Structure 1
Amino acid sequence: MPTQDDQGREGAIAMTGGGGFLGWHTRAAIHASGKKSTPVAVGAQFDVDTAVATLDGAARLIHIAGVNRASDDEVRDGNVTFASQMAEALERAENPPPVVVFANSTQAGNGSAYGSSKEAAADILGAVAGDLGLKFLDVKLPNLFGEHGRPFYNAVTSTFCHILAEGGRPEVVDDKELALLHAQNAADLLTGEVSTSHQSSLEENILVSELLGHLTRFSEAYSSGSIPDVSEPFQRDLFNTYRSYAFSVRPAIALTKNSDPRGSFFEIIRCRGGESQSSFSTTAPGISRGDHYHRRKIERFTVLAGEATIAVRKIFTDEVQEFRVTGDLPMSIDMPTLWPHKITNTGDDTLFTSFWANELYDDAQPDTVKELV
């Protein structure tokens, strides 16, 4: 089993780049662990006194902020400047974090402006950590994928998911092999929840055409409400990535209700492989269930009888989306990963609800984090 790093387990975690794709996922992972993350601004917004105050007494520093889409000079200057700013703050802190983590890239040292600047940034942070007697983790990350990546910017996975969710047909331009790592796994490496010695076991080597094939099959299956085979962690993470784009296009899944004099029947879910668990609840009027989120678990809510409102909110945002559902017009809502959610009985009668999850509930690893919608 992956082991936790042995330092920096207590206190707040200082981090740069919290507003970006990997930063958002890392903040979410820290939140799920019950710890606190505190931002450190870099670049033009950098203030050394503020940075020193944030770093002083922190459990670890995770440096994610970087520049990868700009002119060569801007890329070089940006990455080196950000690292130099963090080095200055570390040197000035009376009680610097015992662990300094750099979200580096496997492109470091490849001769490009980006690769050279990432290598230089690692040297800067590594040198100051060595001088101060701090543990330095240089985490070289490959191609990242995950929920809410920016299409046509973050990675080809984001672009494929966006196009497929919108009903388009992506094309493969360069069918090369990619090493893919889910952003939540990357976050676990950066926070020390999983030892960096296990990084290779979390990565998936895959051709771009194979990636598109998986995502296309996911899109085709999910268009009818079916869940593809998500028995393998990579397939589950890739499907959850696709779902984050599909949810904005079609959050509700209409179900076909068949009725005759005997009563009515409708199919709730069709899963094409892997273990799963179904459960059923009754809820009194005015009562809510939920107010939690999942990092990796897939969960489907279906009202069988009664009236309810399902509310969801993307973590770290204030906007709440609500869906009014009733057993008379059966539909399912799949909970997006990293979105707090709840269901409230808004009717006058008992609410009957079916819940489905793609995995068996495990008390030791429930993947259920309390958070009010």
Structure 2
Amino acid sequence: MKILVTGAKGFIGKNLVAELKNRKYDDILEYDKETDPSLLGNYCKEADFVFHLAGVNRPKEQSEFMEGNFGFTSTLLNTLKKYKNKCPVMMSSSTQAKLDNPYGKSKKAGEDLLFDYSRETGVKVLIYRFPNVFGKWCKPNYNSAVATFCYNIAHDLPITVNDPSVVMNLVYIDDVVNELVNALEGKENRNGDFCEVPIVHTITLGAIVDLIYSFKKSREERSIPDMSDAFTKKLYSTYLSYLPKDKFSYELKMNIDNRGSFTEFIKTLDRGQVSINILKPSITKGNHWHHTKNEKFLVVNGKGVIRFRKIDCDEVIEYFVSGDKLEVVDIPPGYTHNIENLDDTDMVTIMWASEPFDPEKPDTYYLEV
């Protein structure tokens, strides 16, 4: 199957081409503004499906709206007619096609042209009026507020928010691409004459900005955003894609003493805290118990023993652990416990606690095992 993608180097086009290749659609005809125009004829002759994503949304002159969004669409359809190619055509439009502005008018003109083409030829057409699209590879400081905010905040640059109460409807690039692949396979999501991405997120501009700033601050707090919220998860992925190349990493505070070190790695509001414990040879840590807080220990390097004693009993339970055999040991409440390094090298343990440490309510009580 030969798939023609116009605007293949653009935001949606680049993501779509990458995913088509992931799904083993290997015969992709990529056409962009830098492509030799003479190739358009061959591509239109051979294509079994057309994704028409090329367009103009930030021109130097207003006349370029009509030239890019109507003119090239006309050229594309005329070329398909020339070669009597009746393959399906998908076109990227915008919700602004309903508005009375130069960009909206040019998009509406392109839509009308494609509907006329369908009536004339009987070709299946799929027109998507996309709202704001966000995700990786979108050009910042161009026509996307989300891309601009993510880029600028990640790069310590100022942003301008004229009205934080403005409500935005957004679709995520992976949801867009998934819908387009569905359309290719004849499973498009239709709503009347138009097609649409079924997953739309509605949120104010101010809330978006607050979230992005919280992502930046999360490094300092060693926290992770609420990944159970679909929009937050998608926006966080988008933000990370705009990190400067020299700022992918960040340091953690290691609490070091003669026993080794303890370092908080990740904190969450509802999924607890992950820390890294490094224990020197022959050293024992712990000897405390909890009412409600529970933990999981995973030794990933070295050898040791984890000991337990129910606080009202004398019996000591021992679990021998090693980085050679990864196993998780649960630390139940009501049991005082410790961990001892039995090796001659540092023992490294990943520790999960059911709640982030709160110095005001530590729920930690000293008691020798």
TM-score between the two structures when normalised by the length of structure 1: 0.64
**2:266 & 2:8 partners in 1: Cα distance?**
37
Q: Tell me the matched-pair count.
A: 272
Alignment of 1:1-373 (within 5 A): 11-36=1-26, 37-41=28-32, 45-47=36-38, 50-70=39-59, 71-97=61-87, 99-175=88-164, 176-192=166-182, 195-197=188-190, 199=196, 201-246=198-243, 248-273=245-270
**2:140 & 2:211 partners in 1: Cα distance?**
18
Give the drift of 1:14.
0.9
In the alignment, residue 244 of structure 1 is paired with which amino acid?
Answer: S
In the alignment, residue 196 of structure 1 is paired with which amino acid?
Answer: N
CA contact (8 A) 1:142 1:180 kept: yes
Q: Structure 1 unaligned runs (5+)?
A: 1-10, 278-303, 307-351, 355-373
User: Matched residue of 1:210: which SS?
Assistant: helix
Deviations 1:58-97 (A, max 9, x none): 3320111111112221211221111011102211235442
CA contact (8 A) 1:57 1:96 kept: no
Deviations 1:178-225 (A, max 9, x none): 111112222222332673349464111111111111212222113444
Give the drift of 1:117.
1.0
Identify the range of structure 1 (241-250 vs 107-116) with the bigger mean alpha-carbon deviation.
241-250
- RMSD across aligned C-alpha pairs, in angstroms? 3.2
Give the drift of 1:15.
0.7
Give the drift of 1:173.
0.8
CA contact (8 A) 2:171 2:200 kept: yes
Moved over 6 A (4+): 274-277
In the alignment, residue 31 of structure 2 is paired with which amino acid?
Answer: V
**2:240 & 2:159 partners in 1: Cα distance?**
17
In the alignment, residue 246 of structure 1 is paired with which amino acid?
Answer: L
TM-score between the two structures when normalised by the length of structure 2: 0.65
Higher relative contact order (CA closer than 8 Å, sequence separation 6+): 1
Aligned-pair identity (%):
28
- Tell me: CA distance 1:173–1:183, structure 2 relative to 1, closer, same or farther (3 Å): same
Identify the range of structure 1 (195-204 vs 112-121) with the bigger mean alpha-carbon deviation.
195-204
User: Matched residue of 2:266: which SS?
Assistant: coil
- Tell me: CA distance 1:264–1:274, structure 2 relative to 1, closer, same or farther (3 Å): closer
CA contact (8 A) 1:55 1:89 kept: yes
**1:172 & 1:132 partners in 2: Cα distance?**
47
CA contact (8 A) 1:14 1:38 kept: yes
User: Matched residue of 1:159: which SS?
Assistant: helix
